[in-house]
Structure 1
Amino acid sequence: MDAELVTEIPSMAAVYARAVKTLTRKPKNPVLPEVTLIFHGARADQEKLTAFRQAVSAPANGKLPSLYVHSLAFPLAMSLMLRDDFPLPLLGMIHLRNEVSVAQPLAQDEVFDVEVNAENLVPHAKGACCDLVVKIVVAGETRLTLRSTFLAKGVRLSGMAPEAKTHERFVPPRRTAAWKLDGGTGRRWAAVAGDYNPIHLSSLSAKVLGMPGAIAHGIYLAARALAAIEPANGNYEWEIEFQTPVVLPSAVDLSFAPSASGFAVQGWNSRKGKPHFSLRLTREE
């Protein structure tokens, strides 16, 4: 895979300003670009870090929450999707899950390199999926790996597409917390994280892109769930699967279930009883 050095990480606003051009992409047998984008010398913006912590009630413990690092680095991954050799349309892609591995949390004043690439283009019952992978590297050591899986609906790959998953009947666990999310949740988080994807901003802009209404950012839901349980030291992993979107405004019921090795977190629709997301955090012994 080729490596390409870049001199800056763009803002998400700049990425989305150019994203409209990707709507015309109608790939036949698409292939992901074989390139890794690399930025040297990234560091946290302390003002934005404070806003992130306040937005999700994360502790000011001297360490960077893994999803703050994601919000800082992910625009570089999104810029990869703007390249002419990236075959899928950026706008309208659906966020399915995240998998994150942390070797050791970054200190809030630590300097790091960012490496991003796209991989694992595979068929999906509703289109095609791929992973955007962000690696955070300090002195040659990978400290965080953040993998985000997205679905491009309607894109067909050669070969057999998997059948749609059959889901077991969801039985809500015992509720231990609840969130009330108003219609402005997506716009406020966009101001914090810089993610101005139209599916999160208003009902009108979301419906244009095929959504039932404005939906909460998956990263916001994950960051808020992680705020009270993410370790400040040591090795750990977490993963989240998004099952149904949180259409704003909404009430979300939650269950935080501790275990010997971490936590299992479930979020669901308090009125319809449908699951929104499942998150599992595991600390290494």
Structure 2
Amino acid sequence: MGAELVTQIPTMGSIYAKSVKTLGRKPRDPALPETVLVYQGAVSDAGKLNEYRRAVGASMNGVLPSLYVHTLAFPLAMSLMLREDFPLPLLGMIHLSNSVMVSDPLKEDEPFDIEVKSENLQPHHRGATCDLVVQIVVSGQTRMELRSTFLAKGVKIGGSAQQATAHETFTVPTRTASWKLDAGTGRRWAAISGDYNPIHLYGLSAKALGMPRAIAHGIYLAARSLAGIEPAAGSYRWNIEFKTPVVLPASVDLAFDVQEDGYQVHAWNPRKGKPHFELSLERG
């Protein structure tokens, strides 16, 4: 596995501008590149950090929220998907889940290195999945790993395809919070995160990519859920699985359940009773 040092992190806007050229990628038996992209000396931006905190209600506690770090680092991971040796199409990828491990939260003024790679290409009953992995390194030690799993529909790879699993019956829990998200939610989050994926911006651009209307960013939903529960010290891990998109405008009901070692969060459509996502956070 070869490391490649980069001197600049691209903007998400520039990535999506070039992503159209990846639409024709549907190779049989694809293989992921072994390249690791490395950016050294990343730092937070005080203005952008404050915008992030206001947008999701995160605490001003002297450390960086894990998903703020994600917004800084993820464009580098996305740039890996633009490369000629990456076999899957960037546009149309479906965001299935995120898993994050934090050994020690980053201080606001602490510089860090970013390492990104792709791995874990797997067959899926609707195509193929792979993970984009971001590692945050300080003085040679990995302080954070952020793993995003994506589905490329229609891509065939060798091996036995994953069988479709029966949907678990969702029992609506007792609501402890409720969100009202207007039609501009995706555009406002794009301005903060830099993620201008067309499925989040306008009804017409979302419909062109198979969505009924614009949908909320999964990272925004996760960041807002974590805002009041993410630890400011010590090790922890969290995971979110997306069930159904939040189609904007939307009302979202949530249940925050306190566990012995963390939290369990469920979010659902209050009118249809269908789950949107499930998030778990575990300390230690």
TM-score, normalized by the shorter chain, greater than 0.5: yes
Q: Which amino acid aligns with 1:216?
A: A
Give the TM-score normalised by the residue count of structure 2. Answer: 0.99
Please tell me the residue identity of whatever aligns with 2:104: Q
The aligned residue for residue 91 of structure 1 is 91
Which deviates the most, 127-136 or 19-28?
A: 19-28
Letter in 2 for 1:24: G
Alpha-carbon distance in structure 2 between the residues aligned to 1:224 and 1:103 = 21
User: Letter of the aligned partner of 1:189 in structure 2?
Assistant: W
1:271, 1:165 → 2: CA distance? 25
| Post-superposition CA distance 1:222-278 (Å, at most 9, x none) | 000000000000000000000000011110000000011000000000100000000
> For the Cα contact (< 8 Å) 2:52–2:68, is it kept in 1?
yes
Counterpart-to-counterpart distance in 2, 1:200 and 1:29 = 31
* Unaligned 5+ runs, structure 1: none
Alignment partner, residue 248 of structure 1: 248
User: d(CA) in 1 for partners of 2:186 and 2:171?
Assistant: 28
- Residues 134-156 of structure 1: CA deviation (Å, up to 9, x unaligned): 00000001000000000001111
In the TM superposition, what are the counterparts of 1:177-192 in structure 2 within 5 Å?
177-192=177-192
Secondary structure, counterpart of 1:16 in structure 2 = helix
Superposed counterparts of 1:17-56, under 5 Å: 17-56=17-56
Tell me the distance in 2 between the aligned counterparts of 1:42 and 1:3: 17
Residue 134 in structure 1 maps to residue 134 in structure 2: yes
Secondary structure of 2:245's partner? coil
Matched residue of 2:23: which SS? helix
| Alpha-carbon shift at residue 28 of structure 1 (Å) | 1.5
**Correspondence 1:224 to 2:224:** yes
Aligned partners of 1:142 and 1:26: how far apart in 2? 34
- Determine the structure 1 residue equivalent to 2:164: 164
Return the alpha-carbon distance in structure 2 between the equivalents of residues 196 and 125 of structure 1.
28
The whole-number CA distance in structure 2 between the counterparts of 1:24 and 1:49 is 37
Q: Distance in 1 between matches of 2:268 and 2:156?
A: 31
Structure-2 separation of matches of 1:37 and 1:259: 37
TM-score scaled by length of structure 1: 0.99
Inter-partner Cα distance in structure 2 for 1:48 and 1:168: 39
Structure 2 residues not aligned, in runs of 5+: none
Equivalence for 1:274 = 274
Q: Distance in 2 between matches of 1:112 and 1:96?
A: 27
Q: State how far apart, in whole Å, the 2-side matches of 1:14 and 1:204 are.
A: 21
Residues paired across the two proteins, number? 284
Name the aligned partner's letter for residue 177 of structure 2. Answer: A
Q: Deviations over 1:162-213 (max 9, x none)?
A: 1111012110110000000111100000000000000101111111111122
Coordinate RMSD, CA, aligned:
0.6
Q: Once the 2 structures are TM-superposed, how far is the Cα of residue 159 of structure 1 from its aligned partner?
A: 2.1
Contact 2:261/2:282 (8 A) holds in 1: yes
Identity across matched positions, percent: 67
Map 1:56-205 → 2, pairs under 5 A: 56-205=56-205
- Provide the rounded CA distance (Å) in 1 between the counterparts of 2:212 and 2:93: 14
For 1:26 and 1:122, locate their aligned partners in 2 and report how far apart those are by CA, in whole Å: 14
Shift >2 Å, 4+ stretches: none
- What is the alpha-carbon distance in structure 1 between the residues aligned to residue 160 and residue 147 of structure 2? 25
Q: In terms of mean alpha carbon deviation, does 158-167 or 273-282 score higher?
A: 158-167
Q: Distance in 1 between matches of 2:254 and 2:192?
A: 23
Q: Distance in 1 between matches of 2:225 and 2:32?
A: 32
- Structure 2 CA distance for aligned equivalents of residues 168 and 4 of structure 1: 43
Contact 2:26 2:154 in 1 (8 A): no
